[in-house]
Every structure is written in structure tokens, then in C-alpha cells.
Amino acid sequence: MVGVSSLVQVLGISGLFASRVFVPMFAAALIMRYGPEIGLIDDIGLLAGVTAEQPPTWFTHDITLTVLGILALAEILAHKSDAARELLTFVDHYGKPIAAALTLLGILSVSEAGFVESVVQQAGLGDYILPFLVAGATFVVARAHNVVLGSFIEMDDSDDSGLLGMLSWAEDIWSLFGIFFFILYPLVMVFLIGLVVGLILLLRWRAHVREEKSRIPCVSCGESIYRSAIQCPKCGEANPSVRRVNWLGVATEFPAPAPERQTLDLVSKKRCGRCATRLTQRRPDLSCSACGTRPFAERDFISRYDAHVSGKLGQTLVICGALSTIPIFGLIPGVICYRMTLVAPYRRYVPRTRALFLKLLVSIVFFFLILLQLIPGAGIFMVPLMALLSYSVHRRTFLKLALRQVEVESAMPPARASVPTPPAAPSPPPPPIQASPTDSSPP
């Protein structure tokens, strides 16, 4: 039982690599290199038996620390970008197992603690079997983590709610400081890691259940459709029980409004206005991957969509003004409110490069507006001004792109329908050759 307990402790490191690749690896190398020089922790956990005079190994070498430090910083910055974060969810679960295995090998190459020896000897495993087990466990946990994170990205890919940003910082802190506590207090961290891994698996199960509950069979063809869909993407049959969508675009239990309003609500949440399928592209000329509908193909719908979003301007400004009266603490909910209501419906259809430029431009102006909180009485105008500025910039950009696309398509000549050439009529058979009377000879 002792060997199994020690093995579980080592495998617990996989929970620290579920979120990041290089951050925990850099933290582990850093503490294994300089931890023995700190008097309070030089004989705790995996640092027991490691002396300050011990020469650096490949894992704690200066070159390794420098490279890992640069990669860790780049990883932290990459997770603050919407596009990079979404891309990493598809590829980093392959790098995390390798990083976890290398980290364990690096710890084993430095540490001579009895804890490590008990794992290798009592569990009956060799030094190079453990990294493979850790890599396998990390791969499973990382895949589950990316499924959960992907569901959040799918609902709010632009991070208008700010939840992805806060989650990103929390994962940075967990990956950076969690490895320190794992090396110093392995048993305590294994317990905490188990809770985190259990939470990740629970959230993955919840995401699967939510996705299954969000679909119902079509009454006509039996195709699986979203409960918030107006029509079936396959046969076009109307959904008899359309459900309203919430602020994240997820179907609720409440009946949907009129079809026109439901279509506008769906498109504002970046869903197809007919079949409610998630729209993955970020440009006005996008089309639904399920039914082929192009929401912004007509100037009339662009005008109605703009009126639908702009109709919430007055109410949102009042709410933001009320939140601005709360110093400091009213800023975050006020920003989330106007971003989800006024900015997200436009920004979701602006290409990422253009959206990033607008975000940087607006952030510079926001820096000076935040200083209004320091002026007594002037802070009440800060969040409404931020809302109005961000709304105006993104609205103008979206309308410019959408209307330009309509004008380009309307200026193009209509495609001619190809008329098949009818098959040529068969030529009549040649007339029979008749013998001339002069050529006939009597018998």
C-alpha cells in the first residue's frame, strides 16, 4: 500500500500541467535549483537531500532556466489573446504530457529524497516508467480541461464577459505556485490537485449533458436540432417549441419571442438565425455551416439588426451610470454589462486583426477615462462614456464592413444559369439506292 500511495503522489503532478505547458515546468526547475539555498524550505518534501553545493543538472542549468523562463512568459501572454487561446486548446494537450514527463525526469535527476526512492522501489517501477504514467495521466486531464475551456470559448469567444480573462489569470497562478507547493508539500497538493481534477471532469460531464439537452429531434425528419432553432437545417420544418436564448446564447426553458425577434437574438449571440448553429467565422459575409444561411447578405437585415442592438443603448447607459456611482467596484460589472449588450453583437463579426486594433485603440482612451474615478462626482460619467465610445467604434466598423460587402456583391453581374445543350438529333438514314431502268438487263 505504501508503494501505491507514493505512486499516486507522483502522478498528482499531472494536475498541474492540465492548464499550462511551460509555466509549471519553469517553476519546478526554479525551485529545484534555488530552493536548497532558502533556509526554511531546504529540507522539506522533494528538496530533502538536495544541497546548495550540488552541481546543476540538465534540468536546473542556467540555459534551461533561461529558455523555460522565456517560454513561460510567452505562454502567459499568449493565453491573454483570444485567438491564441482558442488555438492552444487544440494543440497544447499534446505538449502538456511531454512537459510533465520531462519535469518529473528533471526532479528525479536532482532529488535524492526518500520520497522519490520509495516511489521507484516500493511501487516496483523503474525510473523511466513513471514519466510514461505521468504523461498518460496528464493527457487525459488536459483533454478534459480543453473540452471545458472550449465550451466557454464557444459561448464567448471574444471574452466580452471577462470570464475567460479571469480564468486565464487563475490558471497562471495555479500552474506557477502549485508546483512550488507540490515539491514542498506533496501530500497536501495531491489532495488539492485531486479536487481540481475532479472539478474539471465534473465540468466536462456537465458540458456534455448541456449539449445533449440543447438538442431535440425534428418533428418531420428526426434530425437533431437546437431547441432555440426556428427551422430544421435539413428539411426546413418549423420548430413548434422554440426556446429563448440567454446572454451566452444557450437555450433556456422559456418560450422564444416572435420569430423576427428570435432571429435577431440568435444572430446577436453569434448563432444562425434559422437553425441556431454556432457561427465560427468572424466576418460579416459568413455563412452557416449547417443550413448555408448568410445572415448579413441583405441590407434590410443589417439595418434591422443595427436597430435591434442600438435599441438597448439608452437602458444600458442608465445601468452603467448607476454602477459608476460605486467607486472602483462598480467598474467591472459596468464594463461587462455594456460589452455584452452593446459591443459584442458587433465585435463578433469583425475580423480578429481589426478587432484587436480597435481594442488597443479604445484601451488607450479608457486609461484616461478611468482617472475620472479620482475626481469627486465625475466618476459617474466614466462607465457611460466608456460604453458610448466602445459602442460607437465597433458599430461603425461593423456597418462599414457589412454594407461594403453587400455593395460589392450587388455590383457583381448575376451568375448566368448554365443551359445544357440539347443533344443533336440523329441524322436520318440515307435513302435506299434504286437501280436505274437503263441498267436493268432482261433475264
Provide the residue-wise pLDDT of the chain in tens; the chain has 443 residues: 334 444 555 566 777 788 888 998 998 888 888 877 776 665 666 666 666 677 778 888 899 999 999 999 988 888 877 667 666 766 677 888 888 888 887 877 776 544 444 444 444 445 557 778 888 888 888 877 777 776 666 666 666 666 777 788 888 888 888 877 777 666 666 677 677 767 767 776 776 677 667 788 999 998 899 999 999 999 989 999 999 988 778 888 889 888 899 999 999 989 999 999 988 888 888 999 889 999 999 999 999 999 999 999 999 999 988 887 777 677 778 888 888 899 989 998 998 888 878 878 887 877 776 666 566 666 677 788 888 999 999 999 999 999 998 888 887 765 443 334 444 445 555 555 454 444 444 43
CB 108 within 8 A of CB 116: yes
Dig out the grid coordinates for 89 from the structure: 486548446
Question: Which DSSP helix (H) or strand (E) runs through 103?
Answer: helix 82-110
Dig out the grid coordinates for 410 from the structure: 450587388
Mark whether 32 and 151 lie in a shared domain: yes
Mark whether 287 and 322 lie in a shared domain: no
Mark whether 318 and 285 lie in a shared domain: no
Mark whether 219 and 209 lie in a shared domain: no
Mark whether 66 and 204 lie in a shared domain: yes
Range of the domain at 394: 313-409
Mark whether 140 and 188 lie in a shared domain: yes
Question: Which DSSP helix (H) or strand (E) runs through 224?
Answer: strand 224-226
CB 275 within 8 A of CB 288: yes
Mark whether 209 and 223 lie in a shared domain: no
Concatenating the DSSP letter of every residue in 283-332 gives: STT---TTT---TTSSHHHHHHHHHHHHTTHHHHHHHHHHHHTSTTTTHH
CB 138 within 8 A of CB 18: yes
pTM above 0.85, yes or no: no
Mark whether 52 and 193 lie in a shared domain: yes
Residue that is last in its domain, among 189, 213, 237: 213
Mark whether 264 and 246 lie in a shared domain: yes
Whole-angstrom distance, CA of residue 350 vs CA of residue 149: 23
Mark whether 144 and 221 lie in a shared domain: no
Whole-angstrom distance, CA of residue 94 vs CA of residue 84: 16
Mark whether 83 and 168 lie in a shared domain: yes
Concatenating the DSSP letter of every residue in 237-259 gives: PBPTT-EEE-TTS-EEEEEP--H
